[in-house]
Chains A and B, each alone.
Chain A
Amino acid sequence: MVQIRNAAVAYKTLNGLICVYKPSCVSVRQVQHIIVTHLCRELNDLPGRPLEKRVEIVGPTNAPMEVKLVPNYADDPLVCGPRYIHEDIRCSWATHLGLFSSGVLLLGINDGTKLTYLLNTARPTRAFKVHGQFGKGTDTYFWNGKTVERASFGHVTRAKIDRVVAHIQAAHQKTMYELSGLHMDSQTTYDIASEGLLRPANSKLPVIYGIKCVHFDPPNFTLEIQSVNEYDKYLWTLVHDLGVQLKTVAHCTAVQCIRQGKFTLPLALLRKHWQMEHLLNNMDQCRQILEDNENLLRPKSAQLTI
């Protein structure tokens, strides 16, 4: 890592994708705001450019006039404001994460905003860990909602969960073909489909590629879900539906994104590390990942690769 000595150099290197760990109960906008504020503060603390000089031509106009080079007070950061402000740093997210979800969040800084757009349209899969609890149903399907129903869950076993979960996954295979944008009766579709899974053509409907129960300790359980186009409320309803199909009720206690495309948890920066030094390192790592996997940004076929 190069030592950053100059604010201008630092600003020019701040272009790219960063991968941060979004805590729950902090909105994506707040995350953006915190990161941009930290960046601005650290850029302003770095040594900036020298103050500009001002040419002043003084004296009566009917005699030889004097040309002077005087310091320009208007250029002082105390007068014209800090050199770097919020508006100087663009920041956009690749895929939104709900307020109560936590986990991997990709943000584009400055020129990286283009990358986030490409990533979003390429629709890489995201992996989620969805924690749920049996026995209580809420009106929002999440822990913060009002309890509307209680039911016993003694009859639920691991085998029963696995059966229902496998059924959900199979049902989504059909939507996957419908959303791929291919004609269902053509030879091309058959050829592509025989090779593996397909990407959805638009971002309208959620598609689940894989879902399995990874932890079961009644009343708590954890599902691992690989999907595209999902959103936090959809995952909550999924837990609720699971409860209903198991002849009990369930609500979601936490949603955690553990992977987006090739960006995984070990890469994600924790809240205490949202500083320029760490962010620049992280940006380098993300750039490396994007270079190694070209189809992450511009996939060539309808097949699901990541």
Chain B
Amino acid sequence: MNLSYTLRRYFIFNIKSKFNRSLSDAQNFLEVKGKQQENPLDSIRKDMSEITPYFPESFNLSAYINSSQSLQNLLHLNINLSKIEKQPHIAEKILKLDFNNDMKDHILFLKDYVDMENIGLFITKNPLILCQSIEDLQVRLNYLESKHFSADQIKQIISRNPFWLMFSTLRIDKRLGYFQQKFNLVGKEIRQLVTRQPKIITYNLHHINTNSFVIKEEMGFNDDEIKFLILNIPKLWMLHQKSLLERFNYLHNVIKIQHDAIMTHPKVLLCRNFRIKQRHLFLKSLGRAQYESIKENYVPITALYEGTDVEFCRNYGKCHIDNFNMFLKTL
């Protein structure tokens, strides 16, 4: 009973709304017919240059660039717009900016810290910096000055890490504190670290934490060695932990290079594992894989990662590069 009542109500309502709509349509039609005076086939004397065809929203920026002076100016600065449009939410924000009002001051501001030829690369990496307010950027620079970074260092930090200025002073301060505490650094050392590798400060902290664990617990370096490593090759903390451990595992457990030997040439950890592996196996096949400096026929660890293969063969393999290539095809 209840259901049939609801159904009937619904039906009546539908009919009513349809009837109303058709009525209003008829009225509109009458009005239009009254206004219409011109035949569409007549030639028009008016200026029609403002009328453009329907232009739907585009998926890339090249559709807009010919009509947008701002985008053209960005292109003249060598900014790679094709990379910016890969992230639609950023492209949308950039499109809403006007060059003279919103972007000019930012670019003039950045010009003091980034070289003119690198400014395109800088904004390509971090286009959202154009959406930040200048005051914020100035505050973040003042923070660096207050922490006794020299002008040269600040320039290096900003130009090498485009994302630095996006971080609020609070976050940067927290992160600097984190690094200082975690690796037991004094003021001078943290400044050295930040200038050497500014990206590490804004890097994913979870990643830094895992790599610290890998280096300390899994690889077994002690605190002093870790401090030496972070000050000399901070890139170690930005590598993938799995590949880092694989490299160390091969060096330490297969080639049997001790920790102190790795500490004298820490860059060996930055070399991809397959390169070290193939050179080591080649030296082994020649009977030259002897990395201890106190014994005869010593080959330095640097041989495993430095220089081209030709140099390696000439200096340490004492053979022609073809022999090395032939060997690689037996692996």
Output the nearest chain A residue to B329 by Cβ-Cβ distance: A265
Contact yes or no, B274 A62, CB < 8 A: no
Whether the Cβ atoms of B72 and A73 lie closer than 8 Å is yes
Closest to B86 in A: A81
Q: Is B75 an interface residue (CB 8 A)?
A: yes
Which B residues are in CB contact (< 8 Å) with A266?
329
Q: How many of chain B's residues touch chain A, expressed as a range?
A: 20 to 34
* A58-89 with Cβ < 8 A to chain B: 58-62, 72-82
A80 to B63, CA, bound (A): 9
Give complex CA distance A55, B73 in Å: 21
CB pair A21 B329 closer than 8 Å: yes
Query: Cβ of A270 and Cβ of B328 under 8 Å apart?
Result: yes
CA distance A143 to B52 in the complex (A): 69
The reply to whether the CB of B315 lies closer than 8 angstroms to some CB of chain A is no
CB distance from B105 to the nearest CB of A (A): 23
Q: Once bound together, how far apart are the Cα atoms of A39 and B202, in whole Å?
A: 33
Complex Cα distance, B245 from A64, in Å, reads 74
- B325: which A residues are within 8 A, CB to CB? 270
In the complex, the number of residue pairs spanning A and B with C-beta atoms less than 8 Å apart equals 60
Q: What is the chain B residue whose CB lies nearest that of A81?
A: B82
User: Contacts A73-B66, A73-B75 hold; do A62 and B45 have CB atoms under 8 A apart?
Assistant: yes
CA distance A270 to B328 in the complex (A): 8
Whether A23 and B331, one on each chain, are in contact in the complex, defined by CB atoms closer than 8 angstroms, is: yes
**Given A60-B49, A62-B46, A73-B65: A79 touches B81 (CB 8 Å cut-off):** yes
User: At the interface, yes or no: A227 with Cβ under 8 Å from chain B?
Assistant: no
Cα distance A82–B82 in the bound complex, in angstroms:
8
Contact A54 B329 (CB under 8 A): no
Chain B CB within 8 A of A248 CB = no
| Complex: A74 Cα to B81 Cα, angstroms | 10
Report whether A78 and B78 are in contact in the complex, using a CB–CB cutoff of 8 Å. yes
Minimum distance in angstroms from A31 CB to a CB of chain B: 13
Which of B65, B72, B329 gathers most chain A CB within 10 Å? B329
Given A21-B328, A79-B62, 5 further pairs, Cβ under 8 A: A58-B49, A59-B49, A60-B49, A74-B65, A78-B82
Q: 9 shortest A-B CB distances, which residue pairs?
A: A81-B82, A74-B62, A60-B47, A73-B65, A61-B48, A79-B62, A80-B62, A79-B81, A78-B80
B interface with A by C-beta (< 8 Å): 45-49, 60-63, 65-66, 71-72, 75, 78-82, 274, 309, 325, 328-331
Q: List 29 A-B contacts (CB under 8 A).
A: A21-B328, A23-B274, A24-B331, A59-B49, A60-B49, A61-B46, A61-B47, A61-B49, A62-B47, A62-B48, A73-B71, A73-B72, A74-B62, A74-B63, A74-B66, A76-B75, A77-B82, A78-B80, A78-B82, A79-B61, A80-B82, A82-B82, A102-B331, A256-B330, A256-B331, A266-B329, A268-B329, A271-B274, A272-B309
